[in-house]
Amino acid sequence: MGGPSSENEVSLSSGRECVIALRDAGFLVEEIIADRDLPEVLRTCAPDVVFNALHGRWGEDGCVQGLLEWMGLPYTHSGVLSSALAMDKQRAKEAYKSVGLPIVESVLASKAEVSSNHVLKPPYVVKPYNEGSSVGVYIVHEDANGPPKLAEDMPDLVMVETYAPGRELTTTVMGDRALTVTDIITDGWYDFDAKYKPGGSRHVVPADVPQEIFDACMEYAITAHNVLGCRGVSRTDYRWDESRGLDGLVVLETNTQPGMTPTSLSPEQAQHVGISFPEMCRWMVEDASCDR
């Protein structure tokens, strides 16, 4: 847990919760705060299984997965290729499109270009193409006076995508099973604080949506999980414009390392279908392997 990404604090929070749950499930657990000496620490520790509670770059994009494959250490969640593919938002969208999943228009553009001109007609969203947890996301509204002034720490290449209005929905997949659909209700949009601060959002589980929309979310989550080659647990997020019915449902992205904090969505969905948090963590450990 931890790691050098912008999601370090979220990862530490996830890790602490997973440590407690894994010990409750009967495992002997050693906490490893990931740093540049991670290979040496893993060599000394010699674990039977690595429970990956890292988020963001290096922990969720295939990098640490490659290290674990090299060392022959079984690990949880998705493998090298699927982790890298899901984290690259533009290539993930191309994969979605290849199997008919509904997406919104998007382009990759330089930070300088996005800061000086409207790359797409407003409203649109600007975000890093390889980060998660709503890190560095800008919404440019229809009546915006000009393009957004991006922060210095934004990457040189960013994704610009058409803004998708409507409700935030999400579905978790465990193995080959979609769990349920959650409707995420916030005062604004589902940003970093809404995701991780207590009271930042309200989750309606199961979502109170038409059966057609519920079924589509469940089906799309499995399809996204499979086309990206995910393993273990993943979570696919949607926007739904209810005024347009099924045509208003679009896939935003798939998270191969869903948060495991007290306010996280996937453990909550598992709980709803009768899987306790320790049971969920046990399932992930028993599912762990190399060559994922």
Active site residues: 7, 133, 196, 235, 237, 253, 255, 259
d(CA 51, CA 104): 34
Q: What is the DSSP letter of 121?
A: P
Q: Identify the CA nearest to 224 among candidates 214, 238, 205, 211.
A: 238
Which residue intervals of the chain are DSSP H helices?
8-24, 38-45, 63-71, 80-87, 89-98, 111-116, 192-196, 211-227, 265-272, 277-287
Q: Identify the CA nearest to 257 among candidates 12, 49, 5, 14.
A: 14
Q: Identify the CA nearest to 222 among candidates 208, 237, 236, 212.
A: 236
DSSP string, 225-290: HHHTT--SEEEEEEEE-GGGGGGGEEEEEEESS---STT-HHHHHHHHTT--HHHHHHHHHHH-BS
Phi, psi for 286 (deg, rounded to 5): -70, -25
Angle at CA of residue 110, ends 109 and 113, nearest 5°:
90
Sequence-distant (≥ 6) Cβ neighbours of residue 279 within 8 angstroms:
25, 270
